A = this chain, B = another copy of it.
Amino acid sequence: MGRWEPDAESRFRAAALELFGEIGYEQTTVAAIAERAGLTARTFFRYFADKREVLFNGSEGLQQTMANALAQAPAGVSAMEAIAAALARAGDFFDDDRRAFARLRSTVIAANTDLRERELIKMATLSVALAQALRKRGVGEPDASLAAEAGIAVFRVAFAQWVSESERRGYGVIVKESLARLRMLAAN
């Protein structure tokens, strides 16, 4: 079982989320995740440092994706338009294939203080990365930090909406609407 397995990472992820939901995050062991996935613990550790990383190891990719979008936005667009480009890229990232995972993940995180804190740290790190990307575009302070924080505010509110049970629209649609609402709120 130590050999290459097709889709091992996604099988571990699905197995872990099932167990987090069934018996709770704290009670779930890597051994149990591996058994549920039909793989070995040794293979698990090739993909994840620990069980917590099943929930968080996508965030570096998201951060890089959004920072790249900021860097690639056309020269001369405003700070908020550059943030809008980064949020649109997040909309591509959170496609409908990720939604079931994102819903389960949100439920697990909401039930555990340490995981909520970890999520807040990730959001703060993302905000710092976006502010840095804006400064590289020549946006000064405090504007870069304000625009980045406002972008994170939109990101978070839209995400909570996207994972809510009744919501059918895609993240890209929701985040675009949320940004438009924030702009409207700020103008009044």
Contact = CB atoms under 8 A, between A and B. Distances in A.
Given A120-B117, A120-B124, A185 B153 contact: no
Chain A contact patch, size range: 20 to 34
Interface stretch (A10-18, A94-102, A103-111, A140-148): A140-148
A79 B183 CA distance: 12
Oligomer copy total = 2
A185 B80 contact: yes
Contacts of A78: 185, 188
Interface of A: 78-81, 116-117, 120-121, 124, 142-143, 145-147, 149-150, 152-154, 156-158, 160-161, 178, 181-183, 185-188
State the 5 A-B residue pairs at the shortest beta-carbon distance, nearest first: A149-B153, A186-B186, A78-B188, A120-B120, A117-B117
